[in-house]
Structure 1
C-alpha cells in the first residue's frame, strides 16, 4: 500500500482543514501529515487576525483544536519556510506539499499622501492589538480624530477597537500593552468611509449591529446617504442580509446623535457612504492632517461614478482596510498582480507554461485571495485535496520519507521548534495568566517567551 507523506505549510484554518479533509477522504493509501507554522502557536488569523472581543468567531479554535488533538497530525511551530526548511528539503522527505500561508499584507491604496506619518495599514494594527510576536509592542494612539477606509468586517474590527473604551475590553484576551495603549488614547471621533452606498457594504449584519452597542459611543449616520436608487431598493427587498443591514442603519438614523446632531456620548462613530478617497493631506511636519474624498453616486452599470464634489475631514490618523494581499514564498510560483500562488483548483501552475507543478498545491487565501469566510475555506480545501489524491502518479519520490528525518534535520540546524504538546503548555499558561483577573487569557507576546514556555524551558 502506498503511503502519502504530506507537508502543509501554514497552520491556520486553511491548513488544518486540508489535513482533516485528507484524513477523512476515501483513499487507497495511508497518510502521514506534518504541519509547519512560522509562529510558535497554531490557528493563524483566528488567533492573530480576529479582534479580541469576538469570542464567537474565536470559537472556531475549538473545532481546529479537535483536529490537531486527533493524534494524526504533527505540528512543527516556530519554523520559517525558506529559512529553517526549504522546498528542496520538503522534496527530500515528503511526497507533496500544500501551501496555506494566507494573506497578511495590506493591499495598497494609491492616493497622494498615503505614506504620510499617521497613515497605517489594517494588517499591522490588527497584528498589534492581537499580540502578534513579530510587530512592535507600541502603537502611536495619539489622534483625536481618525479615518478608517473600507466597508468590510476588518474595517469594522478596527473601528470598534479604536472607538470602544479600553475597560470594556478587559474580559477578553487583550494583551496588557494593548489595553494600556488604548486606555490612553485621546480619540473622540472615528470616521468610516466607503465608496458605495449603505445597500452595497460588505459588513455582516452581526458585526454591524455590535458596532451600535458600544458603551458611550454615538452612532452618526447622514440622511443624504439614504436616498436609495432602484438597484439599492431591489437589493434590500431581495436579499435578507442587506435588508437586516438596512434595518440596523435606519434605526441609527433615529438616534439623538445622528446627522452629527450632537449626542451625549464622549465618542462619536461616523459612517460616510458614497465617499471615494482622493488625497491625504499633511501638516508642515509631514503628519496626516485631513482626508479629502469625492462624493460618488450610482452609475448605470451597478457601480459608482464621481460627482466632482470634494469634501475634506480634519483627522490626525488614517487606517486603510481595503483588503489583504499574499506574500511570495521562496522557490514557489507567485502572481505579483493578484497576490496569490498561481493555481488551477489548488494545483500550483508554472507561470510560463501554465502546466501543474508536480507535488505542489495551495489552499486558502494564498490560493484564491482574501475573500470568503470559514465555510469557503473548507470547500476550498476539499477541492485541493481531491486533486492531491488523484495526482498520486505525480507525487515526489523522496530520498528519506521517514518521520524521524525531519526532526533530525531541524535539530541539526538548531531550530527551536514547538510541537503540539508545547502549544498545550502555552495555551494553559495563557489561560492561567488571565484567571486571577477574570479574563479569558492573557496572551504571551514575545516570540522567545512563547518558545520558552512551549518547550518547557
Structure 2
C-alpha cells in the first residue's frame, strides 16, 4: 500500500497557492506544506501588485481558504537554502516544487546602468507595498524621471508618481514612503518604449486608468517619424483616448510617451542625468532626467541556491526525480497572475503522473525536518494575528497598515510583540 504523499512547495505566492489548490483536489490525503521566507503568505499579490489595485489583491481571500483546509500547512519565516536546504526537503518529502517567482529587476544591458540615480521598478513597488526586507522609503527621484520599459509595470510606476496622496484612499500603500515622496513629487515623466504605439504591450484598462488622474497632461512622441509626431488615430483606442487629456491651466505633471525609441545608454558621470535613445533611422537623442527607473521585467540572481542556474522552460516543470517548478520560476517573468493557474494545472498533471507510477517509500514530510525549522517557523494562525494587527492599525482611508519589518512580523505572529 502506497503511503500518503508528502509535498513541499517553496513559495506562497500565486504560483505556489494555485498548485497547492490543484494538488489538494486530486490528493485529498496528501500532506502539503508551503514554505515562505516571510511571516506572511501570498508573495507577489501582497508585495508585487500595486497598492492601489486592491481588486487584484482580493484574490488573497481565495488563497486564504487553502490554508484553512486540513493537511495544508503554512511554514513562514523559513528561507529555503539557508534555514533548511533543498536536499533536506527532498529527503523528507516525496515531491518538492519551487514556486519562488523572480524578484530581481532585470537589467537593461546598457552602459550607465550602475550609476547613482538608477532604480528598478520592482524595488520601488516593494517599498510602496511595505515589503519588510526592502528600504522603507523611496530614493530621491528629483522632479524629472525617465522610465525605461513599455509594459504594465511601467504604468504602475507612472500611476504611483502622478497620483496625489488623497487618491490612494482604500489602498494599503506605505504612507511613510508616500508622504516623503509627496513632499517633492515628480513634475515630468518620460516613458521610453521601444515598441510602436500599435504594438505597445500596455493593458488598455491600465492606460485608461491613467487618464482618470486629474492635473496630468499626456503627450506622445513617435521616433519613427521625421518630426516625432503622430496622429492620435494612429494609436490604439486606449492610448488615443489618453492623449487629448489636457488639464485646465498648467498641468501638475507632464507625461511624455516615447515610441520606437531604443535605449542605448544611461548618461552621467557618477549620477544619472539622462537617457540616450536610438531612433529607427539610427539617429541618437538625449532625454534629460534626474533619475531613471528601469521596468523591463524580472529575472533571478544567478547565485540563487534554488533556481539560479536552472534557466526557464515552457515545456515542463520537471527538474529531477521528485523535484519540479511552477510559475515564473518555470517559465520566466511573463504572464499575469491568472496565468499561474494554467501553469499550476500543467505542473500538477506531471506530479500526479509521477506519483501514480512511482513506488513511494515512506517519508515523514514536515515532521522529519530538523528541530531548527520547527522552532523558527511561523504558522497560519500567526499570519492571522499579523493580518488582524495590520487591519486594526489602518487609518480610515486605508485597507491595512502593513507591519514594517520582518522581526516585528515574526514577533506579532508568535504573540511576543510588546503591546
Per the TM superposition, whether the score is higher than 0.5 is yes
Residues 272-304 of structure 1, C-alpha deviations (whole Å, 9 max, x = no match): 111110221115xx11112111123xxxxxxxx
Residues 171-205 of structure 1, C-alpha deviations (whole Å, 9 max, x = no match): 31112322222222331101111001111111111
Q: In the alignment, what sits opposite 2:391?
A: 431
Q: In the alignment, what sits opposite 1:314?
A: 288
Match runs of 1:222-241 below 5 Å: 222=221, 224=228, 226=230
CA distance 1:255–1:331, change in 2 (3 Å):
closer
Which portions of structure 1, spanning 4 or more consecutive aligned residues, are displaced by more than 4 angstroms?
A: 328-334, 393-396
Q: Residues of 2 paired with 1:408 and 1:290: CA distance?
A: 53
Cα offset, 1:333, TM superposition: 6.1
Q: Residues of 2 paired with 1:358 and 1:7: CA distance?
A: 14
Cα RMSD (Å) of the superposition? 2.4
CA distance 1:402–1:270, change in 2 (3 Å):
closer
Match runs of 1:173-188 below 5 Å: 173-188=172-187
Q: In the alignment, what sits opposite 2:225?
A: none
Q: Residues of 1 paired with 2:276 and 2:153: CA distance?
A: 22
Q: Residues of 1 paired with 2:13 and 2:207: CA distance?
A: 26
Q: In the alignment, what sits opposite 1:100?
A: 99
Match runs of 1:352-391 below 5 Å: 357-391=320-354
Normalized against structure 2, the TM-score is what?
0.91
Match runs of 1:108-123 below 5 Å: 108-123=107-122
Equivalent residues of 1:292, 1:313 under 8 A apart: yes
Q: Residues of 1 paired with 2:307 and 2:173: CA distance?
A: 37
Equivalent residues of 1:162, 1:187 under 8 A apart: yes
Equivalent residues of 2:75, 2:378 under 8 A apart: yes
Q: Residues of 2 paired with 1:378 and 1:142: CA distance?
A: 37
Residue ranges of structure 1 left out of the alignment (5+ in a row): 234-244, 297-306, 349-356
CA distance 1:154–1:331, change in 2 (3 Å):
closer
> 400-409 or 41-50: which moved more?
400-409
> 313-322 or 323-332: which moved more?
323-332
Q: In the alignment, what sits opposite 2:409?
A: 450
CA distance 1:328–1:17, change in 2 (3 Å):
farther
Cα offset, 1:87, TM superposition: 1.6
Cα offset, 1:30, TM superposition: 2.9
Cα offset, 1:367, TM superposition: 0.2
- Does the alignment pair 1:166 with 2:170? no
Query: What is the number of residues matched between the two proteins?
Result: 409
Equivalent residues of 1:111, 1:280 under 8 A apart: yes
